[in-house]
Structure 1
Amino acid sequence: MFLVTIAAGIGIEENLKQFILVLLVSLSVATLSQSVSWFRQIPYTLLLVIAGLGLAFIDVRLVNLSPPLILFIFLPPLLFEAAWNMQWPALKRDLVPISIYAVFGVVISVAGTALALWQLAGISLATALLIGASVSATDPVSVIALFRELGVEKRLSMLMEGESLFNDGIAVVAFTFLVGFSFGTTEFTIQSLIVEFLTFVGIGIGVGIFIGFGISYLTQRFDLPFVEQSITLISAYGAYLVAEDLGGSGVIAVVITGLILGNFGSRIGMNPRTRVVVTEFWEFVAFFLNSIVFLLIGDQISFAGLGENLGSIAIAIAAVILTRALAIYGLGGLCNWLAKSEISLPDQTVLWWGGLRGSVSIALALSIPTGLPNREATIAIVFGVVLFTLLVQGVTTKTLLEKLGLLSDRTQRQEYLEAIARRVTINRILNHLSQAAINPEIEPEYYQQLTDRLQEELDSVQKEIDQMYARHPQLHEFSVNQLQKDLVAIEDDTYAEFVRKGWLNESPSSLLDDVFKQESAIPAEGK
């Protein structure tokens, strides 16, 4: 017993050393990306993949985690953080295209990729279907990290993030079903597939709703920021574990829990200060885990396996790109026709090219049972596809956004918001100077000079803002949207205060939603 305890202690020490090594490499890459101007052109997450590839090339393996452990450690908190920050009104607006992309996009990807590998690469149909299922889901970790780093326009980011968050569950259903089909333990019928899919998704949604609303009402009863912060962390892992144990989708459970807590629980159960604390905590968690997971993606690559399957990898990459185009453009046109989604052609192009694959695809491939034939070739092909999407599509996505003019608005808005911030700051300083008692040790002339200088600066900032409005008329709509968001936040906080005090059982429906709809219905010349 004593020897077992010593061995366990040595194992923990070795794991801790490996973990610290991973952190040191990740932080070194983060520092390099900000210190060297050339590296700033490449998103930080992709630099981590490249660093991991370099370590794999010299056969330095940082850590060896099993695929289920990778999914369990990294996926729940990263999904929760994305869902926590996702605004329900914006998600609700695009729920139809997101749902269609998540379901039918996966079906098109699995079928098209499998057909290409079966017919062109000579791979058996069962193996080709497994590869298709592994690479069918755009990885939320990869996509969200890249889009946030590039500062993609909010609605486009919502479409991509929403699809990525929900199609994981669909891909996992397809993968699980196809593994059973390969072993002959699952009967291939449309009816059984639909039943399994509905059960898998339904359990995930049910668990997410139960945990999300349960914690929302629990946090109403106390105001302890660090306790509430810890509860959200437990809820992320708890929702994933409970749903998986019940035979449902842990991914969907985490997403639903995060959506409810971020849009409902944080409003009725947390004061504004606590919400800020929790949000900053999850931003740190996302940065911390992203720094590790992208490094490990590169570190797990087997170059020998890639070299032996180059032809099949090339066919798989072409099939993934073509089926993604078919899904995005075809289903996008359908959504525009049926639901009036108004997804523009440039947005569809970014959705197509920005459909990165990452840690989820790799974890699914590595989880293929050892008894299945061609397992190593399957893993190599999936790794090859993931590498291409991260290092080719990921690196060129920023250039594509610039060519399509989808990053220019962000630059204008950032400059505009900086000017607004300076104007507000100067006004507050002037207001303080006008109300503060004059310090007898300071000459009155100094106060006057300071006031005059600040007033000149204020006039200069205001002139700059006026010029921005003249050059970019769309900033007016942006200002209106910002004002509406501020007003909605005030309304939500007011209702939440009444709920916390027990004067209301739940928040009433939004008054401002109706006001904004009536306002937008008024013709421009009538305003």
Structure 2
Amino acid sequence: MNAYHLITFVAIGFIIYAIDKRKEYFPVPIILLTLGIALSFIPFYAEAELTKKIIFEWFLPAILFVSAYQFPLKDFKKYFGVFTALATVGMLLTAFLLAGAMAATIGIALSIGFIGTLLIASILTPTDPVSVVNILKKSTDKAQLADIVEGESMFNDGTSVVLFTVVAGIYTNEQNFAILTFFKEFALVAFGGLAIGLVIGYTVSKIIHVTHHEEYQVMVSVVMAYGAFLVAEHFGVSGVLATVAAGLLFSYEIQDLENEEKYRNYLDGFWEVVNPVLLSILFIVMGIEAMDLLKWNHLWAIGVLFLLTLVVRFLVLYGVFQAIPKWRHEFSLKNINLMTWAGIKGTMSIALLLGFKDQYSGEAELIFSLTIGVIILSLVVQSLIIYPLTKWQQHH
């Protein structure tokens, strides 16, 4: 991908996000994806692609840091138990149930082994609230639901990348799956990432008490976001969880500043420019890549897999909330239904898929095709349904 590609993608992103500011519920990811598909028919843009190194070392740290840093700390404290449960037990249950359901249905017809279905499930497990949080907040009187969906996504991104890393390692090395070894490696990568993120977050965030210049605060946040990620990845643990932990700790430290609101406004001014730029490039490139990855003879399997993702997510959410008496009364079937449809596959799934495609040189066309197809279906169908669904549930 060259400079001309980047300038075009950023310009397109600017136009679409500018329209989004004027139109409520404008489906930004869908439009960017569609434009990417259109650009794939132009030879000059068809050659644009992102490598795993660029995605993981340049895109993810910034996207993750923004989510963590801007997440309201009061909601983090209030729903910490919910986030933790959904991002650990809930995420693992979702991945293994989806993999099992896949193996028992389309896996038999298409000859996909369990590790292959688990790899697909690990890519499809992360959720992306970018296109639905604002809709939930504006179309329903339960703002807490949007906060929970957003917080779940932030933590889920971290743990699902750990799951993907472990499963992808098994798949590419063709190792046997051992459940005990899997959980040991999962725990090491997850807790190692959190530990490094907390240490770097605490150490670097102390610098904000030394300097009182807004531009230096931005520099500190950039060092923290990318430093936590790169150091964690260097030691073989989760850079995603390290960045999330550092971002939350940085937000906590800013509370002690005398001019907290002033600093937050300055930081937001920087990161809220960076974030849509990166998201625009990711969604457009996914549209370009989609035409190469998607195989039309797999459409029936993509449809079945998409339905399975919804059913499994509903069952896991229902099971987790029913298991805790306090949550049982707080989360009704209507809330669980909304959370199910709000679990859109987006940014992280795209990053994992494109990263795996760049890294893996084996024959995995079937995995690429099924995964990209479900991501596209999820973005289109769920983004368009969530608004009328919230309105319908309010009147029934």
Q: TM-score when scaled to structure 1?
A: 0.67
Letter aligned with residue 278 of structure 1? L
The answer for unaligned runs of 5 or more in structure 2 is none
Match of 1:112 in 2: 97
Q: Is the 8 A contact 1:365 1:378 kept in 2?
A: no
Q: Please report how far the alpha carbon of residue 62 of structure 1 lies from its aligned counterpart in structure 2 after TM superposition.
A: 7.0
What does residue 271 of structure 2 align with?
Answer: 282
Query: Match for residue 134 of structure 2?
Result: 148
- Name the amino acid aligned to 1:362: I
1:170, distance to aligned residue in structure 2 (A) = 2.3
Query: For residue 357 of structure 1, what is the aligned residue in structure 2?
Result: 345
Match in the other structure for 1:241: 230
Cα displacement string for residues 291-350 of structure 1 (whole angstroms, at most 9, x for unaligned residues): 332222222212673303112212211211111111112212223x15677223332222
Indicate conservation of the 8 Å contact 1:18/1:62, yes or no.
no
Going from structure 1 to structure 2, the CA distance change for 1:285 and 1:179 (only over 3 Å counts) comes to closer
- Cα offset, 1:53, TM superposition: 2.3
Moved more, 126-135 or 265-274: 265-274
Cα distance in 1 between the residues matched to 2:345 and 2:329: 25
Measure, in 2, the Cα distance between the counterparts of 1:304 and 1:203.
Answer: 34
Which has the higher mean CA deviation after the structures are superposed, 184-193 or 275-284? 184-193
Paired residue secondary structure (1:144): coil
Aligned length: 385
Residue 183 of structure 1 deviates from its aligned partner by 4.6
Q: Conserved in 2, the CA contact under 8 Å of 1:266 and 1:275?
A: no
RMSD of aligned C-alpha atoms? 2.6
Listed as ranges, the matches of 1:42-441 within 5 Å are 42-57=26-41, 60-61=45-46, 63-121=48-106, 122=108, 123-139=112-128, 143-148=129-134, 151=137, 153-183=142-172, 186=175, 188-268=177-257, 271-302=260-291, 305-335=294-324, 337=325, 342-366=330-354, 367=356, 370-373=360-363, 375-405=364-394
- In structure 2, the partner of 1:410 is none
> What displacement does 1:173 show?
2.5
Q: Secondary structure at the match of 1:118?
A: helix
Q: What are the superposed Cα offsets for residues 378-426 of structure 1, whole Å, 9 maximum, x if unpaired?
A: 01110011001101101221222222339xxxxxxxxxxxxxxxxxxxx
2:59 alignment partner AA: F
- What displacement does 1:222 show? 1.8
Task: Tell whether 2:40 aligns with 1:20.
Answer: no
Moved over 6 A (4+): none
**1:68, 1:372 → 2: CA distance?**
18
Q: Is the 8 A contact 2:293 2:365 kept in 1?
A: no
Separation in 2, partners of 1:15, 1:111: 39
Would the aligned equivalents of 2:124 and 2:349 in 1 still touch at CA under 8 Å?
A: yes
* Identical residues among aligned pairs (%): 26
Query: Which one-letter code corresponds to 2:67 in the other structure?
Result: A
Provide closer, same or farther for how the CA distance between residues 347 and 150 of structure 1 changes in structure 2, counting only shifts above 3 A. Answer: closer
Judge conservation of contact 2:322–2:328 (CA < 8 Å) in 1.
no
Larger CA deviation: 118-127 vs 339-348: 339-348
- Give runs of aligned pairs for residues 371-520 of structure 1, distance below 5 A: 371-373=361-363, 375-405=364-394
Q: Any idea what SS the aligned residue of 1:267 has?
A: coil
Larger gyration radius, structure 1 or structure 2? 1
Report the Cα distance in structure 1 between the residues aligned to 2:293 and 2:201, rounded to whole angstroms: 46
Contact 2:344 2:379 in 1 (8 A): yes
